[in-house]
Amino acid sequence: MTRNEFFQKLEARLNILNEQERNDILSEYNSHIEFRMQDGKTEEEAIADFGDVDALAEEILSAYHIDTDTVWNKNGEYYIKKSVSFINHATERLLSFSLSDVAKVVVEFLIVLLIILLISVPFNMISDEIGYLFGFMPHTINTAINSIVKLAFDLVALIITFVILYSFVKTRIINRNVEIPSKEKMQDFTFSDGGSANFDVNTGKPLKKTKQPKEKSGDGSFGRVLSNIFVWTLKILVFLVVWLPAIFITISAIVITVLLTIMLITRGIGLWGLCIIGAGCCITGIGFTAWTTQILFGGKHNG
Amino acid sequence: MNTQFKKGVLELIVLLVISKEDKYGYQLVSEVGRIVDVNEGTIYPLLKRLTNEKYCETYLEQSAEGPARKYYKITVAGRVYLDILKREWLEFSQTVNNFIKETSKDDKE
């Protein structure tokens, strides 16, 4: 990371502070880098010593008693950052598993998929049933209610799916107890009289880590590339499937609502119900579009 | 060393360093770095907090080589706070040390 990049990132994270405080902090880091370079380090090395920019910014803000979670939650980029590190972590863990462990994870994943499928069945049935309940209503209202109910149920099902998948990755991949070779397992449990379980009884030396991530050095970056690809496909997918339709629907909702309102005013037709629904659609559409826009392009506003 | 250990004791060490003599940022950071191996970036926020809480204050001084340097100077409140921290640390480490001795004696019996 170059100095410009580092300061751009740090400044964006600290934008909640007033300008003077922010410049104060940034100038301290700047002079630190200068001194380090005088001592013979390169700019890159000096910056690398600071570690992760996010962690650093968190540390700085906590000095002002600012809770970064509430601040950054407003920033869509933060969610992406969080999910990137989550996926990174998961892929790196997965790469450190042995073949049999990977096979187990795959089987478990299939079971989870089956569970999700089973859960979605009653959801579909209920939303269909509700559709029939409003059969006595005029056709237009019935269709509107039906589509709203269906959307709501789909949304709930989607959230449940997401939560299940997230907890699956968290418990079965990241926090998984990988099977350890039986010999080392023995040493872990054979002694009961004092001493820590992490030390070998005979030599007093710390036990070897039970499972070294074998391909770690080579494939740590591979995991990162993989998750980067994942994030970019996700971004493109969100752009195509969510953002474009959202914009289209919002614009058409606005147009329809305006037309309906004009009709309501000029001809006095009893369309006020649809007008209200239309207005609601407009507001949620605009809100949703703004939110996804921020997630997709949020990074640019900071720079 | 355990990062939680370091975090707890960092404040004490920083105050101890500037209690002897006013230091500018980089000087202070390298001195603290000699005692505890800590990410250098994290000392500046700590200094900021100590300054905000009035345990130390800063002033600028020109230097022959390069731009003006920002010095950190301990305040009276800072000295009082340092005394409290020192006492707490000594008491705490004493208790823990004693406990370690006690338990290792049990082991031998």
Are B77 and B91 spatial neighbours (Cβ–Cβ below 8 Å)?
no
pLDDT band for position B73 (50/70/90)?
Answer: very high
Residue B90 in this model has a pLDDT that exceeds 60: yes
More confident residue, A214 or A244: A244
More confident residue, A11 or A184: A11
Q: What is the pLDDT of residue A123?
A: 74
Say if the Cβ atoms of A63 and B39 lie within 8 Å: no
Nearest to A120 by CA among A76, A164, A59: A164
Say if the Cβ atoms of A51 and B39 lie within 8 Å: yes
Residue B76 lies in domain:
3-108
Q: What is the pTM of this model?
A: 0.45
ipTM metric: 0.82
Say if the Cβ atoms of A59 and B45 lie within 8 Å: yes
What digits encode the pLDDT tens for the residues A62-104? 777 776 665 555 556 666 667 777 777 787 777 777 777 778 8
What digits encode the pLDDT tens for the residues A15-64? 778 888 888 888 889 888 888 888 888 888 888 888 888 888 888 887 77
What digits encode the pLDDT tens for the residues A260-272? 777 777 776 666 6
Are B26 and A41 spatial neighbours (Cβ–Cβ below 8 Å)?
no
Strand partners, A206: A199
Q: What is the pLDDT of residue A186?
A: 42
Range B70-73 contact pairs with CB under 8 angstroms and sequence separation of 24 or more:
B70/A27, B70/A28, B70/A31, B70/B24, B70/B25, B71/B22, B71/B23, B71/B24, B72/B18, B72/B22, B72/B23, B72/B24, B72/B25, B72/B28, B72/B47, B73/B18, B73/B22
Nearest to A302 by CA among A50, A21, A89, A72: A72
Residue B100 and residue B109: Cα distance in Å, rounded?
Answer: 15
* Tokens 């390069």 sit on residue: B66
CB contacts of B39 in chain A (<8 Å) are 49-51
Which tokens in the block code for residue B39? 């990410």
Residue A176 in this model has a pLDDT that exceeds 90: no
CB contacts of A25 in chain B (<8 Å) are 44-45, 48
Which tokens in the block code for residue B47? 């200094």
Which tokens in the block code for residue A64? 């002002």
The total number of structural domains that make up chain B:
1
What digits encode the pLDDT tens for the residues A107-138? 888 888 888 887 777 777 777 777 677 777 77
Across the interface, of B25, B45, B107, the residue whose CB is closest to A63 is B45
Residue B7 in this model has a pLDDT that exceeds 70: yes
CATH number for B38: 1.10.10.10
Say if the Cβ atoms of A59 and B41 lie within 8 Å: yes
Cβ count within 10 A of residue A225: 12
Considering only alpha carbons, which residue of chain A is nearest residue B68? A31
| Of the candidate ranges A144-153, A267-276, A278-287, B61-70, the one whose mean pLDDT is the lowest | A267-276
The distance of A35 to chain B (nearest Cα, Å) reads: 7
More confident residue, A23 or B1: A23
CB contacts of A32 in chain B (<8 Å) are 25-26, 29, 40, 44
